[in-house]
Amino acid sequence: MARIDWRIQGIDISTCNCAWGCPCQFMSLPTQGHCQAAVAIQISRGHFGDTPLDGLAFGGLFKWPGPIHEGNGEVQPIVDRRAGGAQREALLKIMSGEETEAGATIFNVFAATYARVRPPLFAAIEVACDPDARDARVVVPGVLELQVEPIRNPVTGEPVRVRIDMPAGFEFDQAEAASSRVRTLEAPFPLAWESRHAHLAHIDMSGAGVAHPRAA
């Protein structure tokens, strides 16, 4: 059966409880032995079949008791409350890894690691992001407060720019590494950290995977 054609272009704001750089990006074990994350994606242009997704946001809260690949994860999907019925269904299918080639996107890969997927939360998602400046803010009122800023030299205090290049990655092609501060409020499980990993990336993703223009 043919897959539904979909594509999203926009900005990925990902944070986790690991040290800057995130060992996952280098096929290593998590800094503290377990994984927690808060993620938001702001779509600039997108579609799922005939359903437009322009301007919508989505994301989630995540936790795993050990390394992600060992499974037993839990996720709270969050979908922009402005999305209509067909748009909500489309975003949830993308997030669950449906209509995607096996292993082609982070959504498809991570879906195999969840032991519990909570009912989606439809809420306002406030996103402000400048990847080049390593600056971002995400607020889901009453649920999540997330702030991203540049990594700073501990001696001089000057911002440090570090990029992660993944020409065959399943989440992004290139991302700016940064530092995150995260706090959940009325959420199904608590997340809280400061000065931990973040990455900001312009993404272009479809059911066939991430666009990697420099690898062409």
Report domain extents, the chain.
Answer: 6-210
- Global pTM reads 0.95
Considering just the CA atoms, what is the radius of gyration of the chain in Å?
16
Residues 165, 171, 177, 179, Cα dihedral to 10°: -170
For 4, which DSSP code?
P
Q: What is the pLDDT of residue 60?
A: 98
Q: Measured in Å, how far apart are the chain's first and last C-alpha atoms?
A: 28
Contact 125, 140 (CB under 8 A): yes
Sign of CA dihedral 49, 210, 27, 159: negative
Question: How far is it, in rounded angstroms, from Cα 185 to Cα 113?
Answer: 25
Amino acid at position 76, single letter: Q
> Encoding tokens for residue 4?
């539904």
Query: Can you point out the beta strands (E) in the chain?
Result: 6-16, 35-48, 51-52, 57-64, 73-80, 114-117, 121-123, 126-130, 135-140, 144-149, 151-152, 159-160, 162-165, 174-184, 192-206, 209-210
Q: What is the pLDDT of residue 213?
A: 87
Q: What is the pLDDT of residue 157?
A: 93
Coil/strand/helix, residue 25:
helix
Q: What is the pLDDT of residue 161?
A: 96
Helical spans, DSSP H, in the chain: 85-95, 106-111
Angle of CA points 165, 168, 171, to nearest 5°:
75
Q: What is the pLDDT of residue 2?
A: 81
Question: How far is it, in rounded angstroms, from Cα 78 to Cα 70?
Answer: 24
pLDDT, mean of each 10-residue run, the chain (216 residues): 92 98 93 97 98 98 97 98 98 97 96 97 97 97 98 95 95 97 95 98 97 74
- What's the distance, CA 161 to chain centroid? 20
